[in-house]
Amino acid sequence: MAEFTTGPTTVFVLADGMGSAAHAEAGAQAVVAAARDFFRICSRPLSDGPEAFRNDLFAALRARLGRTAAELGVPERDLSSTLLVVAVDAAAYLACHVGDGVIGVRRDGYAQVLSTPTNGEFANQTVAVGHLQGPDGLRLVGGPLTGVDAFLLMSDGAAASLHGRPSPEVPDGALAPAVAHWWNGLGTHAPSQVGVAVREAVNGPIRRQTRDDCSVVVAARVGIDLRKQVRGAQLLGFVAPSRGLRSRRRVASAWSRHGAEASTLRIARAVGLHPSTVRRHRNTLRALGWAVRGT
């Protein structure tokens, strides 16, 4: 299960319920919701560093699992799930990783592995959120956004194709060329178009290599140069420049400037358009896959 939310802190979450767990899907949904809500309402800046979040994040995850287990009348071990999270605010990022899967990052233009899988005692075992004995079981990595503009989260099945095996030369393994292709695509195509390419790869050659879950979250920070007429039109959902494109550009620019949570009325006042027109353009931008981070 994967999800993302925008605001002052943008959060990307991916969870893979363990096949041995009787209620794996409910467990994955629980930890995704817990991580999403934790960062969405947290007022602490991510630049405070991983240790500032460890105890509270662990408590939030276990509390949500406990409530879900109580609601279903099952033990928490029946909700076993892995967890991969990346949170980004205006100045820093924070990643949390429990279990298998891989988190990747693009730093200074180069694809790198940010966090590798954590396996259990045997090769086919992994660690779940509900298995952790304390906050120290959370793998947390964070730092400034300087030079960082893209992230990748992938479950174990997708990692089988997109993450090369470690070697003496590349101890954390390398990310497949397809990852860079998707990241670059977000700078030249609407996210919905890149999503089609990702789904085709996941449902085709990637899935044929494994029986495990194949989930991928691809995220990149991009800027739309509104001065480039044809490219700007394509990115914003038009075949060619038009009067409608000019209005959509104004809405997109104001939405980004005022933040993800800005109301339709506020944007309408900023750009001089009727609220219904602004609402229509925002809905189209969301359908194209565009999201803005709050200021």
Using one digit for the tens of pLDDT, what is the confidence trace for 258-288?
877 889 999 999 999 999 999 999 999 888 8
CB-count burial class (<10 Å; 0-12, 13-18, 19+) for 158: buried
Cα dihedral sign, 61-93-158-118: negative
Three-state SS for 152?
strand
Cβ-Cβ contacts under 8 Å for 272 (sequence gap 6 or more): none
Query: Per-residue pLDDT for 295 more than 60?
Result: no
Residue 228 pLDDT level (bands cut at 50, 70, 90): low
Structure pTM?
Answer: 0.85
- Which of the two residues, 171 and 200, has the higher pLDDT score? 200
In angstroms, the CA 198 to CA 41 distance is 30
Q: What is the pLDDT of residue 237?
A: 81
User: What's the CATH code, domain 2-220?
Assistant: 3.60.40.10
DSSP string, 191-207: HHHHHHHHHHHIIIIIG
Instruction: Give the pLDDT mean for 227-234.
Output: 67
Q: What's the chain's average pLDDT?
A: 88
Domain boundaries, the chain: 2-220, 229-287
Indicate the helix (H) or strand (E) that contains 95.
strand 92-98
Q: What is the pLDDT of residue 124?
A: 54
In angstroms, the CA 152 to CA 51 distance is 23
- The b/e string for 98-107 (b: 16+ C-beta within 10 A; e otherwise) is bbbbbbbbbe
Residue 121 pLDDT level (bands cut at 50, 70, 90): very low
Instruction: Give the pLDDT mean for 53-72.
Output: 96
Q: What is the pLDDT of residue 261?
A: 80
Residue 15 pLDDT level (bands cut at 50, 70, 90): very high
